[in-house]
């Protein structure tokens, strides 16, 4: 029994850091206009955050379209929400490139990039994971994929983590969640 308890305690101690590892949502990056921004830059607004990259070589997730459709559902309330897209491919996703891309989803979309270590730190702050793969075409170093975890993060007006929705969440589901957070 004692042994069992000790084992349980040991397991708890080992398991706790991972379980309690908070999604802080901190980042120190630059937007598609080249302006330096941090999570504090969006204080007072609810944030919807997704990670990804624009050079999807085979298929592209529709996550940002889902977020755009969600903002349409929210109507005027969407003014209280800022959609953030954090690239996991800062080498190819330059601010200039992100500027064109974000425009396709709507004027309020913010695309974030930065030095590789800053992007890695941002991903870690959201417990998002990514891995740059070898080039699909060995003759062309620019043909690499970036595998990354998917999902949509909701952070409240103070920037605290509220929820992570799956990448297949519908605009209605996301809108409902945001309505709750906006009411607080």
Could you list the residues that contact other proteins (CB under 8 A)? 54-62, 65-66, 68-69, 72, 92, 101, 104-106, 129, 131, 133-134, 136-137, 140, 142-145, 147-150, 167-168, 170-171
| 35 vs 168 by CB, closer to other proteins | 168
User: What are the beta bridge partners of residue 46?
Assistant: 81
What is the smallest separation between the CB atom of 174 and other proteins, expressed in angstroms? 11
| 97 vs 157 by CB, closer to other proteins | 97
Which H or E run includes 22? none
User: For the stretch 164-176, what's the b/e string if a residue is b when 16 or more beta carbons lie within 10 angstroms of its beta carbon?
Assistant: bbeeebebeebbe
What is the smallest separation between the CB atom of 72 and other proteins, expressed in angstroms? 7
| 35 vs 129 by CB, closer to other proteins | 129
CA 33 to chain centre: 19
| 68 vs 78 by CB, closer to other proteins | 68
Nearest of 161, 173, 128, 158 to residue 146 by alpha carbon: 128
Q: What are the two backbone dihedrals, phi and then psi, of residue 162, each rounded to the nearest 5 degrees?
A: -110, -50
What is the smallest separation between the CB atom of 65 and other proteins, expressed in angstroms? 6
What is the smallest separation between the CB atom of 102 and other proteins, expressed in angstroms? 9
Residue 167 and residue 151 in contact, taking contact as beta carbons nearer than 8 Å:
yes
């Amino acid at each position: 029994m004692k042994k069992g308890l000790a084992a349980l305690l040991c397991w708890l101690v080992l398991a706790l850091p991972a379980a309690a590892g908070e999604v802080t949502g901190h980042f120190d990056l630059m937007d598609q206009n080249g302006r330096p921004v941090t999570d504090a830059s969006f204080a007072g607004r609810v944030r919807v955050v997704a990670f990804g990259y624009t050079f999807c070589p085979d298929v592209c997730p529709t996550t940002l379209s889902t977020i755009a459709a969600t903002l349409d559902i929210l109507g005027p309330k969407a003014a209280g929400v800022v959609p953030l897209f954090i690239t996991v491919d800062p080498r190819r996703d330059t601010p200039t490139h992100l500027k064109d891309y974000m425009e396709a989803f709507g004027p309020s979309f913010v695309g974030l990039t930065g030095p590789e270590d800053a992007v890695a730190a941002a991903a870690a702050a959201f417990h998002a994971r990514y891995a740059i793969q070898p080039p699909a075409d060995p003759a062309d170093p620019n043909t690499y994929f970036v595998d990354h975890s998917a999902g949509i993060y909701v952070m409240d007006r103070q920037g605290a983590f509220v929820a992570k929705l799956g990448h297949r969440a519908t605009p209605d589901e996301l809108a409902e969640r945001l309505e709750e957070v906006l009411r607080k």
